[in-house]
């Protein structure tokens, strides 16, 4: 027969009572601290896993629009599926350094609000860059994800930003990692 000897206090021989709320409070306060420490470790680790040898490149180009067409599907006027197609030259310091083009297709229409999916490819001397994004109509700027490319841009990623869209002052800044 096994006989158990009753202990005074809690699991570790400490008295219970006022320490229970303190233990609960300690656990409650420790959770955000542990979460913060894990978050910092994750950030440091993600940074450490970035492949070495990446090259960063910034392209700042003027866009010279040359061609534009609209395909109006369904009802007359902007509607689901309508598409804008465009192309033009990429300019740097007044000289042509490439060409590009793309299309935006309307994916959402409600109360005059239009959202399009845009795909753009630009072809430069050493390769091409592919970009995509959603665009809300009426805005004059667009931020796109760089999703890849060819040539020296074959593993490209980053962000491209267009300003003054469809005006003579349209320009592009691409922050590229490759």
Enumerate the domain spans of the chain: 15-50, 56-177
**Averaged confidence pLDDT in the chain:** 78
How many whole angstroms separate alpha carbon 45 and alpha carbon 36? 14
Mean predicted confidence (pLDDT) in 93-120: 96
Task: Select the more confidently predicted residue: 112 or 134.
Answer: 134
The band of 138, judged by pLDDT with boundaries at 50, 70 and 90, is confident
Q: Is the pLDDT of residue 31 over 90?
A: no
Q: Is the pLDDT of residue 170 over 60?
A: yes
Give the pLDDT of residue 112: 86
How many whole angstroms separate alpha carbon 74 and alpha carbon 51? 48
Tens digit of each residue's pLDDT (9 = 90 or more) over 7-29: 444 434 444 444 443 333 333 33
Least confident of 40-44, 50-54, 162-166: 40-44
Architecture of the domain whose range is 56-177: Beta Barrel (2.40)
What is each CA distance from 147 to 18, 28, 91, 131, in whole angstroms? 59, 43, 22, 5
Q: Is the pLDDT of residue 82 over 70?
A: yes
Buried residues in 30-50 as b, exposed as e (16+ CB within 10 A): eeeeeeeeeeeeeeeeeeeee
């Amino acid at each position: 027969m096994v006989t158990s000897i009753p202990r005074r206090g809690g699991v570790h021989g400490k008295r219970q009572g006022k320490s229970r709320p303190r233990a609960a409070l300690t656990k409650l306060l420790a959770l955000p601290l542990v979460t913060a420490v894990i978050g910092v470790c994750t950030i440091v680790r993600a940074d450490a896993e970035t492949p070495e040898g990446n090259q960063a490149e910034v392209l700042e180009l003027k866009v010279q629009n040359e061609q534009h067409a609209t395909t109006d599907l369904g009802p007359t006027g902007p509607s689901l599926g309508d598409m804008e197609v465009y192309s033009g030259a990429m300019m740097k310091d007044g000289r042509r350094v490439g060409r590009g083009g793309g299309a935006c297709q309307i994916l959402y229409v409600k109360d005059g609000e239009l959202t399009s999916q845009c795909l753009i490819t630009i072809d430069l001397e050493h390769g091409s860059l592919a970009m995509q994004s959603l665009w809300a109509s009426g805005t004059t700027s667009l931020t796109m994800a760089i999703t890849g490319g060819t040539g020296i841009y074959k593993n490209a990623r980053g962000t491209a930003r267009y300003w003054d869209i469809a005006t003579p002052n349209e320009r592009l800044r691409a922050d590229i990692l490759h």
